[in-house]
Amino acid sequence: MIASLDAGLRDSEGETAPARFVIAHDDYHAELVGRAADGRQFFITTPFGSATYGQTSTEFVARYLFDAEGALVDATIVPLGARPETVALPGNGWRFTAQAEALEQLLSEIQPVAFGNIEISPFSITAHGQEFGLILHGPDPEHPDDDDWHWTVTVEPGDYMAFYSPWDSGEYDT
């Protein structure tokens, strides 16, 4: 999966693909990030499938659990259906009832927890007919000689968090 991308390729800054990167706990998209009492790292988030071709968007709540070295060990994806029309678009801090309940349930199942930064490896899984994960992106196969590309890791579906070098900063773009 990721090994095919990182086989020594270097981006325009000369960097190879990250084996791990930091997600810094914050009060926005990385609010539910930290460690469970058993040492597993966790990231609970709200991915969404974009509305396209006349279809409504699909909302999800995802809990990713990682071992102490940052490898994914479990993923729970809860489909919520379409976002209620009365709720603002994805990417904001507002939560609708079903989403808030799913977030609370997934967090309660791993209590007690300590919120804080985590260091994890990129990954990709398929669930509910979509690709989920913190997905590593490398060179554009259609433009292999592009000298201005950089490694990125995005939270999918929805591409609502994007991580770049330096990989230990924990910072992301939305």
- At 42-85, the pLDDT tens digits run 999 999 887 665 566 789 999 999 999 999 999 999 999 887 76
Distance, in Å, from the CA atom of 16 to the CA atom of 40, rounded to the nearest integer, reads: 27
Residue 53 within any structural domain of the chain = yes
HSE-up of 66 (CA within 13 Å, CB side)?
25
18 pLDDT band, cuts 50/70/90, is very high
- The whole-number pLDDT of residue 147 equals 72
Q: What digits encode the pLDDT tens for the residues 78-106? A: 999 887 765 555 555 567 899 999 999 99
Overall number of domains in the chain: 1
Residue 42 lies in a domain: yes
Q: Which two tokens stand for residue 61?
A: 């709540």
Distances from the Cα of 127 to the Cα of 33, 78, 124, 140, angstroms: 21, 10, 10, 25
- CB atoms closer than 10 angstroms to residue 92: 10
Q: Is the pLDDT reported for residue 3 higher than 70? A: no
Q: Is residue 3 part of a domain?
A: no
| CB of 55 closer than 8 Å to CB of 104 | no
Spatial distance between the Cα atoms of 47 and 155, rounded to a whole number of angstroms: 7
Looking at residue 13, what is its pLDDT?
Answer: 78
The three-class DSSP label of residue 54 is coil
- Please state, for a pLDDT cut of 70, what percent of the chain lies above it: 83
Asked if the structure places residue 96 within a domain, the reply is yes
**Structural domain includes residue 55:** yes
Whole-number pLDDT of residue 82: 82
Instruction: Report the 10 Å Cβ neighbour count for 65.
Output: 19
Structural domain range at position 112: 21-163
Check residue 113 and give its pLDDT.
Answer: 98
Query: For residue 16, is it within any domain?
Result: no
pLDDT in the model for residue 14: 80
Q: Evaluate whether residue 11 is within a structural domain.
A: no
- Give yes or no for residue 123 having a pLDDT over 80: yes
